[in-house]
Amino acid sequence: MDLSRIARKRQKSVQDQNALLRESIRKCAADFREAPGHIPPVLIDVARERDVDWSKAILLHLGVCEPGCSSLMGLLLDQAGRFIEFELDATDDLSCLLELYVWKDVSAEQNCSQHNRGIGVGYGALALAVQADLNRPQGLLRVSEE
């Protein structure tokens, strides 16, 4: 599947939109997994204290020092398939926790359906599929979904 061709299309089918969203999720998760130094140390520590295994978890969104917001906020998918929303304040160098505002399992709020009218596969289902792909041993090939 040529994602660059799909991205250039003016009118995208539901399957095209799902492919682009899945690739966006995969790219974000893989970027953080391949460069763990980009994950602030305070987030790594807070997550480990809550039994998150970073070798199997994926980061879906991370907001760092956005104006008017907490130091860190975002969404991660832990090794057990739980979607965790977090928001915390940290020191300026993002190494020490000042206050944890939110660490909440929001799995029930995620759309994990494979078949949604008009949108196809839900965001939660795509994220879980990306996580499964990234956690699959490198020697095993994924069977095409087409």
Rounded to 10 degrees, the C-alpha dihedral 76/77/79/84 comes to 70
Query: What confidence category does residue 145 fall into, taking pLDDT thresholds of 50, 70 and 90?
Result: very low
Please give the pLDDT value at position 65.
Answer: 82
What burial class does residue 106 get, using C-beta atoms within 10 Å of its C-beta: 0-12 exposed, 13-18 middle, 19+ buried? middle
Query: What confidence category does residue 17 fall into, taking pLDDT thresholds of 50, 70 and 90?
Result: confident
Angle between helices 123-135 and 14-34 (to 10 degrees): 50
Please give the pLDDT value at position 76.
Answer: 95
Euclidean distance between CA atoms 20 and 123, whole angstroms: 11
Euclidean distance between CA atoms 17 and 119, whole angstroms: 8
pLDDT exceeds 60 at position 47: yes
Please give the pLDDT value at position 146.
Answer: 41
Do 22 and 119 form a contact (C-beta atoms < 8 A)? Answer: no
Higher pLDDT pick, 42 / 35: 42
Phi first, then psi: what are they for 72, rounded to 5°?
Answer: -135, 140
Percent of the chain predicted with pLDDT > 70? 88
Given the DSSP bridges, would you call strands 58-64 and 72-77 parallel, antiparallel or unpaired?
antiparallel
Do 130 and 25 form a contact (C-beta atoms < 8 A)? Answer: yes
Domain boundaries, the chain: 14-134
Token look-up 């994602």 returns 3
Q: Provide the 10 A C-beta neighbour count for residue 65.
A: 13
Q: What's the distance, Cα to Cα, between the start and end of the chain in Å?
A: 9
- Record the tokens describing residue 49, joined without a space: 């204290």
Q: What is the pLDDT of residues 100-139, one digit of tens each?
A: 999 999 999 998 888 878 788 889 999 999 999 999 886 5
Q: What is the pLDDT of residues 83-99, one digit of tens each?
A: 999 999 999 889 999 99
The rounded mean pLDDT for the chain is 85
